[in-house]
Amino acid sequence: MFKHLSRFKSALLPGLLVSMLLLGFAFVLFFTLFLAEDPASVTQLDVRVYSLLKFTLYQAFLSTLLSLAVGIVLAWSLAHQSQFKGRSVLVALFSSSLVLPTLIVAFGLIGVYGRNGWINQFSLSLFDHSFGSYLYGLFGILLAHTYLNASFAARALLHSFESIPKEKYKLAKSLNFTIFQRFIYIELPALRSTLLSTGSTIFLLCFTSFAIVLILGGSPSYNTLEVAIYEAVRLDFDIAMALKLALIQLAVSTLLVVFSSSFRTGLSNLKTGELHIPWKEKKHITAVQRTVIVLFALFFILPLLVIIVDGMGADFGRIVKEELFIKSFVTSLILATVSSLITVILALLLSDAKRYFVLQTRLADNVFSKFFSILVSFSGNLYLAVPSLVMGLGFFLLSQNYEAPMLFWPTAAVLTANVLMSMPFALSVLAPVMQKTAQRYDKLAFSLNLTSLQRWVYCEYPYLKSPLGYVFALAFCFSLGDLGIIALFGSDEFSTLPWYLYQLMGSYRTSDAAGVALILLAITLSVFILLPKLFRSRVAENN
């Protein structure tokens, strides 16, 4: 084992060092929280804490169930309607749900379903009837989570549908399967692994949801652990309660991550293909599939359209001249750029280290390889176990104990959260590509005794160019739209666009909020759609 390690130490050590640093950070964070509170009081679960935990798990379960149900139906419809006009555009648009700022989604949903939203206004003008404020509470939380995660689930499941060999469909036709039988015996088995990985990811995202619950929860009875931590620190300054909630959330999140670690997760920026069915669907089935696509497209597009329409009426000339907007805009761009660069570098190092422990041409046959592979994977997925508000509380306590320049701790906290938030997705994109290139070129590179730089230039980069652009865009958009940790540190001296937008919404400056929301949406979609095209590689696309 150690003989082989010495051979690959120049490539292994950086990745293992990054992994150990990330795990060390998690260790320090945990003990900072643990030592700041009396252990006896942490174990005391009063009625409020129990109800918070119960509702957090309950809404996450319902959100996951709804998201998967809608995602399956939508993916099934898209897969069987490959000739649907505008299908590729819709699939690309649904993919953007992954990077849409949650605050933007909440703002758009309020514009459609809120008391003064389009639906209520339409109902008042035609029937003189208002549906009231039905959006706030559990319904609004589930609606927003389904909006964000159903399209993500559909995008992941669509690849599983399209990977089913056409021979299986021919067999189903020869056996005269019904639509239901075809789904149960042919399609569902192909979806099972993707359903498990996607479902576990969605559950963790909903369990740690912050901005959606903060905006659409409506009352303390619909608070989750994340929102309760925020209120305990920011509003009540009840550090003891915040610590108790943070440790509980940290424990539950870690258990969930460990439980779901055996599920394979995947994320791709590749274009979808077509599913070839050796017969023509019946007219009523085709009608159902097309109706599903149209209805979900309307559900997805309307909130974005509200932001565009309302935002166009804002006074941009005045908004862009405001000092706080300029400061928030510049800070957001700098933080997003820096965190994206750090994410790409760390993800490359971790992916490089991980492939040494899973490839037969390297160290996969060694006794400790599986352990090191799990260690590297877990370190890259820390954010799922340590949510942003828990991380923010740890940085808040560190800032109270250790003096530093005024903006040091807020900047360090936001950058760390942004990098860790993007890392699981970055690894899911880069790790498979790096493993594939190693399988293809290892023997040749070893026989030619290529240096690390030569191998990168001639073997790695041509295949990684396109994924790197996608990962950078993904990390940039995540960082740009995050309202998690900035909620604890946000102020007039340190502000980002999401925090500035949240302040505008809280002060009922609706027109200005619409303008800022449109700017944030335009930047996010532009970066997510256009930036990967600059890195597009013909070599990667042909392989």
- CB atoms closer than 10 angstroms to residue 268: 16
- CA distances (Å), origin 447, targets 286, 443, 450, 452, 498: 56, 6, 8, 14, 52
Average pLDDT for 325-341:
94
Average pLDDT for 490-512:
87
- Tens digit of pLDDT for each residue in 112-141? 988 888 888 888 887 777 776 778 889 999
180's tokens: 């239901």
Q: What is the CA radius of gyration of the chain?
A: 24
Question: Has residue 526 got a pLDDT over 50?
Answer: yes
Sketch out the chain's domains with CATH numbers. 47-227+253-312 (1.10.3720.10)
Q: Which residue has the higher pLDDT, 539 or 28?
A: 28
Q: Which residue has the higher pLDDT, 127 or 199?
A: 199
Of 123-137, 286-300, 301-315, minimum mean pLDDT range = 123-137
Question: Has residue 191 got a pLDDT over 90?
Answer: no
Give the whole-number percent of the chain exceeding pLDDT 70: 87
Question: Has residue 3 got a pLDDT over 60?
Answer: no
Which pLDDT value is given to residue 383?
79
Q: Where are the alpha helices (DSSP H) in 163-187?
A: 166-174, 179-182
- Tens digit of pLDDT for each residue in 448-485? 777 777 777 777 778 788 888 889 999 999 999 888 88
Average pLDDT for 405-409:
84
Query: pLDDT grade, residue 276 (50/70/90)?
Result: low
Question: Has residue 11 got a pLDDT over 70?
Answer: no
Q: Where are the alpha helices (DSSP H) in 44-137?
A: 47-80, 87-95, 102-113, 118-127
179's tokens: 């639509």
Which pLDDT value is given to residue 2?
46
Question: Has residue 269 got a pLDDT over 50?
Answer: no
Tell me how many helices (H) and strands (E) the chain has: 27, 0
Which pLDDT value is given to residue 68?
93
- Tens digit of pLDDT for each residue in 350-366? 888 877 776 655 665 56
- Give residue 118's Cα distance to chain centre: 28
Give the whole-number percent of the chain exceeding pLDDT 90: 19
Half-sphere exposure of 187 (CA within 13 A, CB side): 23
Question: Has residue 530 got a pLDDT over 60?
Answer: yes
- Tens digit of pLDDT for each residue in 63-96? 999 999 999 999 888 888 877 788 888 888 888 8
Question: Considering the entire predicted model, what is its pTM?
Answer: 0.84
Asked if 462 and 539 count as a contact pair (C-beta separation under 8 A), the reply is: yes
Query: pLDDT grade, residue 187 (50/70/90)?
Result: confident
Of 34-43, 270-279, 453-462, minimum mean pLDDT range = 270-279
CA distance 419 to 251: 22
Which pLDDT value is given to residue 86?
80
Question: Has residue 425 got a pLDDT over 90?
Answer: no
Q: Which residue has the higher pLDDT, 132 or 377?
A: 377
Q: Which residue has the higher pLDDT, 332 or 114?
A: 332
Question: Has residue 149 got a pLDDT over 70?
Answer: yes
Average pLDDT for 359-388:
71
Query: pLDDT grade, residue 298 (50/70/90)?
Result: very high
